[in-house]
Chain A
Amino acid sequence: MNTKLANKITYQIPVGPIHPALKEPVQFEFEIEGEKIINVDVSLGHVHRSVEWAGTRRNPIQILYLAERICGICSYCHPMAFSLATERAAEIEVPERAQYIRVIHQELERICSHILWAGVAAHEIGFDSVLFLTWQIREKALDLTEYLTGNRVTKGITMIGGVRRDITKDMYPTILEGMKYFKDNFEKIRKIFLDDKTFKLRSQGCGILTKEDALKLCAVGPTTRASGVKKDVRVDQPYFAFGDLDFDYITPDLITGEINGDVYDRIIVRLLEVKESIDLIEQCLDKMPSGDIVSEKKIAKLLSILKKADGEGIGRMEAPRGEVFHYVKLNGNESPHHWKVRAPTYSNILPWIPMLKGNQIADIPIVAASTDPCMSCTNRVAIIDNGKKYQLDKQKLYELSVEKTRRLM
């Protein structure tokens, strides 16, 4: 507790790491004046499982399964971004049919993730019947995922140089039926989220992120698009088959004609993206060429190619929460020399601070949830020396960075 003025007292409220409103371990320290949030501090590191370190001790095909377990909700984009980076490093060509199948799986994951988010957002404002409604619709997306990949959550579909399962003509009716189900239910969800009085009251004008802040703090994905920044890796730097498909940036002014950057706008962006994803899957089914689904079928041969490869590559993808970035350096060994993951929530944590400042305590869950945070993707290491924790300030970080550059040279 510290005093600012004689009659104005602020309180510190710690929330987390284990708290019923948080789905994952993360710790907040709020400075409160009455009901108003004055300052926020976030501390991370509770889900650090040393994934990158473990990756440098395994071969690239084993890493695919490790990358899948960075996050259970983005269990498709992490291994896929890793394989994009590895394909670039080892100069492996991906067959065109595989590119289309990759788009279908990615968009299916986006539908699944956005519907999941809609349910969590409804739960955070105490509207549990909507949680159950959206999760019932989500089960259909999971059924479809299971039909196409064999698994519900971790998909195991990625292979370096392609995908592991084909989508054949006789699968089309089931996929199209699933898309029809989503389209039929879309209107129902749209009506609840955009026209319902409760949602409007809780989400309009709450957790505002201005365009300037979004640019300055490098927010990514739906969070930044809701603030009017046109940023989408699928359009900016098309990968897979996105260059051949017809779609555009989604910003909230498509429906309301104005951009506020509040929670309501983030809901609009995610809803419209679900619709866009349905459309993209249908386009892919129409345009998909015939051919191979993987460039090298024999895994032993693929591993020997990767073992000989010497080079570095990056993989950028638009995950449901924003841009995911993987860097891989291969140097002729069985396991990669270096592997670096930057998940979207890493960029979306700092925008929490301007969003939460000035709001009420009761708005914390919905504002924090509105960026769709994913802690298991994000957590990094904190250095502990002789059991004593020391802070890394800017100067210290700079020194460490210079030291590392010298070491690598």
Chain B
Amino acid sequence: MAKGLPKSFKKSLWVYHCNSGSCNGCDIEIIAALCPRYDVERFGIKLVGSPRHADVLLVTGPVTRQMVEKVKRIYEQMPDPKAVICVGNCGNTGDVFYEAYNLVGPIDNILPVDIYVIGCPPRPENIINGVAKAWVKLETLEAK
């Protein structure tokens, strides 16, 4: 677990997952992190169906032209305080699609990203590490 994390949390962390045109590789690893082998639900981390309920936004994919407005709207719908995690290399840098004509990303051109999770796709351990770091951010914001 990340440094600076208290022994017990005040709240459970609810996560909203948004696919902005990814290849599914990161998305299945996110689901794998929720399933019995890694089981993040035991820490209270849960995927929710609406951005209005979420503390953390997980964005995968390189953001295609059609998805830009939708990704922005999802971010705006989330209540403060919030954290954005970019999962996977194509959202971070463009990766193999870097020169493609239909991409507006990387994601940090569109949203303020707090945590970059690298890997193509990242392993579930790495995604969990990213979410734990987002937790630190939210807890520090609350302490202020």
A-side residues, CB < 8 A to B, are 17-18, 20, 23-25, 45-51, 53-54, 57, 65-66, 69-73, 75, 116, 131-132, 135-136, 138-139, 142, 152-154, 374, 376, 381
B27 is an interface residue with CB less than 8 A from chain A? yes
CB < 8 Å: which of A51, A71, A135 contacts B32?
A: A135
CB < 8 Å: which of A50, A72, A139 contacts B121?
A: A72
State whether A25 touches B21 (Cβ < 8 A).
yes
- Looking at chain A's contact residues, is the secondary structure mostly helix, strand, loop, or mixed? loop
**A128 CB to nearest chain B CB (Å):** 10
Q: Which chain B positions have C-beta within 8 A of A25?
A: 19-21, 66-67, 70
CB < 8 Å: which of B24, B31, B64 contacts A49?
A: B64
Q: At the interface with chain A, which of B78-86, B97-105, B109-117?
A: B97-105
Interface range on chain B: under 10, 10 to 19, 20 to 34, or 35 or more?
A: 35 or more
State whether A73 touches B28 (Cβ < 8 A).
yes
**A126 CB to nearest chain B CB (Å):** 13
Q: Quick one: given A135-B35, A376-B22, are A154 and B99 in contact (CB under 8 Å)?
A: no
How many angstroms from the CA of A116 to the CA of B31 in the assembled complex?
Answer: 10
Number of A-B pairs whose CB atoms are under 8 Å? 114
State whether A18 touches B18 (Cβ < 8 A).
yes
CB < 8 Å: which of A45, A46, A51, A71 contacts B97?
A: A51
Q: Which residue of A lies closest to B103 (CB)?
A: A49
CB < 8 Å: which of A50, A139, A154 contacts B37?
A: A139
CB < 8 Å: which of A20, A73, A136, A152 contacts B35?
A: A136
State whether B100 touches A135 (Cβ < 8 A).
no
State whether A374 touches B66 (Cβ < 8 A).
no
Q: Quick one: given A48-B64, A49-B21, A49-B100, are A116 and B35 in contact (CB under 8 Å)?
A: no
State whether B31 touches A54 (Cβ < 8 A).
no
The 27 listed contacts between A and B (C-beta, < 8 Å) are: A20-B50, A23-B27, A25-B19, A25-B21, A46-B66, A48-B64, A48-B102, A49-B62, A49-B97, A50-B101, A50-B102, A53-B101, A54-B97, A69-B23, A69-B96, A69-B97, A69-B120, A70-B23, A72-B24, A72-B25, A75-B23, A132-B35, A136-B35, A139-B37, A142-B32, A376-B24, A381-B102
